[in-house]
């Protein structure tokens, strides 16, 4: 791995990680993209930034993003998504259904796997494709 901001793990290394470990890093990657997008769009107070971030990183919102992305995924990406979606989580937030939480975990697993594989451009492209209309000023 070259750097923590530009990891380049091998597919074997990434596949050896649990789906929930991939979702753990993917959650952070997704939230960083959301926060960056909101800050770059400008004109918001700290409280508004926080509110808008929470609204976009919650399981129901991530489930919508996952549904938008699914048709754009490659076979390998679909496998990562399904691996996360089918993982067994122990706690589901009160504001999400089991199905929403499963789709959100799939999205996070996908983003985590791509990030660790060093495919940051693909992560950004998928994020842009799925969230473009949500950030219109």
Q: Which residues are catalytic?
A: 27
The CA distance from 112 to 91, in Å, is 20
DSSP of the chain, one letter per residue?
---SSS----HHHHHTS-HHHHHHHHHHHHHHHHHHHHHHH----HHHHHHHHHHHHSHHHHHHHHHHHGGG--HHHHHHHHHHHTS--S---TTS-HHHHHHHHHHHHHHHHHHHTT-HHHHHHHHHHHHGGGG--
């Amino acid at each position: 791995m070259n750097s923590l901001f530009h990891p380049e793990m091998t597919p074997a290394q990434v596949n050896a990680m649990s789906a929930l470990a991939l979702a753990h890093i993917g959650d952070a990657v997704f939230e960083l993209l959301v926060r960056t997008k909101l800050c770059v769009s400008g004109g918001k107070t700290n409280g508004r930034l926080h509110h808008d971030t929470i609204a976009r990183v919650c399981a129901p919102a991530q489930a919508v993003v996952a549904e938008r992305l699914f048709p754009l995924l490659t076979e390998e990406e679909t496998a990562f998504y399904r691996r996360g979606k089918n993982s067994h989580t122990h706690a589901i937030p009160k504001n999400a259904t089991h199905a929403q939480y499963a789709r959100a975990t799939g999205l996070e697993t996908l983003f985590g796997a791509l990030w660790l594989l060093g495919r940051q451009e693909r992560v950004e492209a998928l994020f842009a494709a799925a969230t473009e209309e949500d950030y219109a000023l």
